[in-house]
Amino acid sequence: MPDDEAVATIAAPDALFASILDIAADAIIVVSSSQHILHFNQGASQVFGYLPEEVVGRPLADLMPERYRGAHGTHVEGFRRGAERARRMAERREIYGVRKDGIEFPAEASISRLETRHGPIYTVVLRDITERTLRERNEKFLSDAGGLLGTSLDVGRTLQGLANVPVPYLAEACIVDVVGPDGTWQRQASKSEDAGLQAALEVLARDVLTWDSPWRAIDAMRGRKVEVVANISDDWLEGHTETPAELGRLKAMNAKSALFVPLIARDHVLGALTLFRVSKAPFTPDQVALAQALGTRAAYALDNARLYTMAQRATRAREDVLSVVSHDLGNPLAAIRLCAAALLEAPPTDVLEQRHLMQAIGNSADWMSRLIQDLLDVSTIEVGKLSVERRTEQVGPIVRQALAMVGPQAQQRGVLLTSSVAEGVPAVHGDAARLIQVLTNLLGNSLKYTERGGTVSVTVRDTGDEVLLTVRDTGSGIPAEQLPRIFERYYTRKRSANKSGSGLGLSIARGIVEAHGGRIWVESAVGEGAAFFVALPATR
């Protein structure tokens, strides 16, 4: 039927009909069987931006994105032929409309069919769901961001994930600046598919902030609030950079606006997010709120990663110290066992020899007590260091005590122990017990790799500013490729199939020597034995 007859049909009591439709908040559009608009209420005007007189008589397809117009007629024809007379909003998928200014928006709609003597008339009730859709998308964005940031407890991976999460949903580029508990700063930049922007970000990532930097992220961190820059101008950049080089790097980004979000977790400021927009419009209040919500999640993810890292370090430190103590208990325990066996099985008749064995047991017990004390010292274990108590000490007595501790072991293995301390060797400022620990570790290592009938010797001489201790063995030597790693923790050299150990002794020795401001190194060649050198600052 003609559209004017359809208008007359639906608008018999015109004033009453219009008043009922116009009070509805939703868009209500009545169309003819030829898909031309017959009525356009006030709700439709508010949604689409058209006045009724601008659209009445025009095809309904004019209110749709162009990509949907071709299929629309087919859908309506299918509805006309079907048995159902109405489809509710919940029964239809999300659709899209086009406002007068050309902007698309998501919507949901219901449609009903009224059969008249002139043919069907369709009534479309349409609701703009832009806000609801945006809210759902934002919730999904935050949910996805939380899931991504929670996939790793590694600080580095968390920072990289945090830099990439806002791109491109909130911004086209992001920089994360964080300050660690020790005051050190880190910077991580996002990735970009734009080659020019990626190059600029890579260069910017090398800049590291300080608390005195003029960059606006510092203001966000100090003030604990979001900072918004709606228009980034050259003058603004000049006022917020320190050097011409830094200014040039930021100009290369060609950013139009920026958003600075502090990262705060458990009332601690951890850093800040800097979000850049290169081509998009400035940040809206809703987007600022979303960035704040992201900042909160990001801060807790970063804080959790840091706490996990600290817990791992504390655990490793505790394990290291326990390994050190258990390793070093082996030498004095072996000495006690051998001396006790000698006193029980074949006690010497000479009083001096008996006294020597008992004194070795006493010295070993004293050393074990020192190690146990370190084990009980909780604060020492947590920082991963054993105590060092320095005094002015003569080297001769240190060498003699170390030899006494490993003497029974050498005797059992059939290895000759010798020592030579040069006349006039100056004293050292150190911890005698720790230096004995160094020597017993070196001597124990040499004894382990020296065959029966061999020799392990200790020599001490003055080199001017240092006192040089040398532990030399006649073993089979160390392969050249193993020498660079010989002092690594848990590294075990195996010069024969039956030689093994925890790989801690030489690492312990190096740590103690370096704590005294000294040096330790090794020289060796296969078949020529090994020589370990310890140089300690001399005290005149």
503 pLDDT above the threshold of 70: no
Please state the rounded mean pLDDT for residues 225-233: 92
Residue with tokens 């990289």: 160
Residue 124: in which H helix or E strand, if any? strand 119-128
CA 121, CA 125: separation in Å to the nearest integer? 13
**Pair of tokens at residue 157:** 């991976």
Short-list 484, 395, 415, 425, CA closest to 455: 415
- Of 342 and 535, which is predicted with more confidence? 535
CA 401, CA 407: separation in Å to the nearest integer? 10
Please state the rounded mean pLDDT for residues 314-337: 75
User: What is the reported pLDDT for 2?
Assistant: 47
Short-list 113, 126, 104, 118, CA closest to 31: 113
Strand pairing category for 455-462 and 416-421:
parallel
- Of 75 and 295, which is predicted with more confidence? 295
**Pair of tokens at residue 16:** 């009453």
User: What is the reported pLDDT for 386?
Assistant: 60
Residue % of the chain over a pLDDT of 90: 40
Q: Terminus-to-terminus CA distance in the chain, angstroms?
A: 118
Residue % of the chain over a pLDDT of 70: 86
Q: 473 - beta bridge partners?
A: 456, 530
**Residue 144: which residues within 8 A CB-CB, separation 6 or more?**
none
Q: What is the DSSP string of 286-349?
A: HHHHHHHHHHHHHHHHHHHHHHHHHHHHHHHHHHHHHHHHHHHHHHHHHHHHHHHHHHHHS--S
Mean pLDDT across the chain, nearest whole number? 84
Short-list 255, 275, 249, 253, CA closest to 263: 275
Cβ pair 247, 214 in contact under 8 A: no
Please state the rounded mean pLDDT for residues 225-242: 91
104 pLDDT above the threshold of 50: yes
Adjacency order of strands within the sheet including 227-229: 185-189, 173-179, 268-277, 257-265, 227-229
- Reported confidence tier of residue 460, pLDDT bands at 50, 70, 90: very high
| Identical fold between 3-128 and 134-311 | yes
Residue with tokens 């994360």: 176
Residue 155: in which H helix or E strand, if any? helix 155-164
Cα 79–Cα 80–Cα 84 angle in degrees, nearest 5: 60
User: What is the reported pLDDT for 87?
Assistant: 73
Short-list 419, 413, 481, CA closest to 448: 413
CA 170, CA 172: separation in Å to the nearest integer? 7
- pLDDT tens digits, 251-289: 888 899 999 999 999 889 999 999 999 876 889 999 999
89 pLDDT above the threshold of 60: no
Radius of gyration of the CA atoms of the chain, in A: 41
20-34, 184-198, 360-374, 487-501, range with greatest mean pLDDT:
184-198
User: What is the reported pLDDT for 412?
Assistant: 85
Instruction: Enumerate the domain spans of the chain.
Output: 3-128, 134-311, 388-539
Is 3-128 a domain of CATH 3.55.40.10?
Answer: no
pTM: 0.56
CATH number at 388-539: 3.30.565.10
Is 134-311 a domain of CATH 3.30.450.40?
Answer: yes
Q: What is the DSSP string of 164-223?
A: HTTTTTT-SEEEEEEE-TTS-EEEEE---SSHHHHHHHHHHTT----TT--SHHHHHHHH
Q: Which of 307-316, 393-402, 480-489 has the lowest mean pLDDT?
A: 307-316
Q: What is the DSSP string of 378-428?
A: HHHHHHT------EEE-HHHHHHHHHHHHHHHHHHHT-EEEEEE-TTPPEE
CA 428, CA 540: separation in Å to the nearest integer? 8
Cα 371–Cα 377–Cα 381 angle in degrees, nearest 5: 90
- pLDDT tens digits, 423-459: 999 999 999 988 998 999 899 889 989 999 999 999 9
User: What is the reported pLDDT for 1?
Assistant: 43
- Reported confidence tier of residue 13, pLDDT bands at 50, 70, 90: very low
Cβ pair 498, 478 in contact under 8 A: no
User: What is the reported pLDDT for 273?
Assistant: 94
226 pLDDT above the threshold of 90: yes
14 pLDDT above the threshold of 90: no
